[in-house]
A and B are shown apart, each in its own frame.
Chain A
């Protein structure tokens, strides 16, 4: 019975005898594993980015907007339209729903701001102090909106970093005055940056007291009790579904709807996150599957070369059998050669894949996410490729008739 160390030695010697051929044969697996590793890392990076973006909107957040969610065919619920949410709804939620950290009614508006002879067109949100809690907003410079600003409808405004840079380049905006829709407003603070959120610049925004926006900035949209949205922050992540159900109940009672004709929608950021995660995961899987095809091609390359090698070494196989090699010894030797080729290819591919993923993600500004399982899977799969595609050539070698094999020139 041959010793396993001698078996490995024989396989290694055979591969070293033809280093160029061995390297080219392993190249298929190298490319396959490298592309799978790079694609998975890229997908994980994109996923982490999406999650971080959604998280930056505020944690444990529900957003109530007017109008029903689009059903199939894009038909919007009949009742309510855009005026269906009111300040009263926000007050009712705050009063009747438990487990909430903050309820923040928001009035959307927008307009052209002018300061220093510069102008900038941006969204202006009318908010209460609760908005800062609900959306995890921090003020970098100056002060946030306070209750007194809202109750007195003061003409004060906070700017996002993008707005601040465009209107007040190279100077501190706090204390300055800007003109908006015909009125003058004092800048009381600059928000901390939230960064790009995939589709829009979250820093291109301005905040003013809710009452101020409704009366002076929003124009016709600001009349009456209606508001644009309500942000509701749950106390903790696991309470989000309960809060979501309670908010929906309260609003259905107030709006006298029963689910089919809801004139509002409660958006759960956690479920949006999940949906986005699932999308990127599917995409990652798709990319990995395409890359996996190249791994398959690499495996076929190994099988091809191993078959050539068995044919070339027929006489050697015959001789080894005459000297006492069993079928299993020959099977193991050639099988091991294939596995060694693909595992070495897998290791090199892993290294190249990680380097490639690092290059691509840093070029795209994505985080580099490498899971601890990646090397394990890379080695496991390349080993599997070796076993799968080495099996047939090894079997062919093992069942060669020694007499025929020795006669072969």
Chain B
């Protein structure tokens, strides 16, 4: 059985004026269902490009990328939108909540694009906000919430459509150490509940929390290390 994410000889080229940049230069790896993976590397290593491809925000120039049975390279814009909606849950460094909307409405957003009807949508969003510990903050606007609370709302939003993969880009980058640890603990819980969590980070402390570290440099994987199984 192939992994949830299967990449083989993945290439992504960008034209930067006259020059062509090999953002990804023949990357191959598999991530199994329920995995907990950190993708690390310095800026310019290609980890953000890889994240964009896994998230269905971009398509590869060469090689093949299959996620949950979908061939990312073969999908058109509309298919990719549906893929992002159903299969991926994004968590961003700067939370990216819509400031005009309440916590509840922010969590409802992916469900709106998924075509879920209003009552079921609200029930699901309330349940998710309770799950991340914000059951009392449903009607708060993002500006009325702390950074950690905002990131919890963002995680609830990412989980809204029951995605296979939670894709987090520096999820603790804007938080203090203590709050960051709480968020990572939440990721771990979610992973134990069966969600595949992929964290893109350059923070080795964050990476150390995961079960597997894929290290990138100059568009290539230079290290793919599985943590020892917890005793």
Contact = CB atoms under 8 A, between A and B. Distances in A.
A109 B132 CA distance: 102
B29 interface: no
Interface string B133-166: 0000000000000000000000001000100000
Given A326-B78, A406-B92, A319 B110 contact: no
Contacts of B109: 320, 323
A322 B55 contact: yes
A310 to B, nearest CB: 15
B57 interface: yes
Given A3-B115, A324-B82, A319 B96 contact: yes
A329 B112 CA distance: 11
Nearest to A319: B96
A3 B112 contact: yes
A315 B110 CA distance: 16
A325 B81 contact: yes
A221 interface: no
A5 B85 CA distance: 19
A324 B98 contact: no
Given A3-B112, A315-B96, A406-B96, A323 B85 contact: yes
A2 B57 contact: no
- Chain B interface extent, by class: 20 to 34
A6 interface: yes
B68 interface: no
A363 B161 CA distance: 64
A80 interface: no
Contact of A319 (B77, B81, B98): B98
Nearest to A322: B90
A1 interface: yes
Given A324-B82, A324-B110, A13 B100 contact: yes
B216 to A, nearest CB: 18
A323 B113 contact: yes
A5 B116 CA distance: 12
A2 B96 contact: no
A120 B180 CA distance: 103
A316 interface: yes
Contacts of B117: 3
B58 interface: yes
Nearest to A402: B57
B104 to A, nearest CB: 13
A155 B190 CA distance: 116
A327 B78 contact: yes
Nearest to A9: B112
Given A17-B100, A315-B96, A324 B52 contact: no
Nearest to A3: B115
Contacts of B112: 2-3, 6, 10
Interface in A361-409: 402-403, 406
Interface string B53-69: 00101100000000000
Contacts of A322: 55, 57, 84, 90
A13 B102 CA distance: 12
Interface in A1-31: 1-3, 5-6, 10, 13-14, 17
A84 to B, nearest CB: 84
B124 interface: no
Interface string A303-339: 0000000000001100111111111110000000000
Contacts of A321: 57, 81, 84
Contacts of B92: 406
Of A6, A325, A328, the most chain B CB neighbours within 10 A belong to A6
Contacts of B3: none
A325 B78 CA distance: 9
A240 to B, nearest CB: 66
Contacts of B86: 324
Contact of B81 (A6, A14, A315, A324): A324
Contacts of B81: 321, 324-327, 329
B103 to A, nearest CB: 15
Contact of A2 (B52, B55, B115, B161): B115
Contacts of A2: 112-113, 115
Contacts of A325: 81, 113
B114 interface: yes
In the A-B complex, the 8 residue pairs with the smallest Cβ-Cβ separation, listed nearest first, are A324-B85, A324-B113, A326-B81, A323-B110, A1-B115, A6-B112, A17-B100, A319-B96
Interface of A: 1-3, 5-6, 10, 13-14, 17, 315-316, 319-329, 402-403, 406
Given A315-B96, A327-B81, A403-B58, 17 more contacts: A2-B113, A6-B112, A14-B100, A17-B100, A322-B84, A323-B109, A323-B113, A323-B157, A324-B81, A324-B85, A324-B110, A325-B113, A326-B78, A326-B81, A327-B78, A403-B57, A406-B57
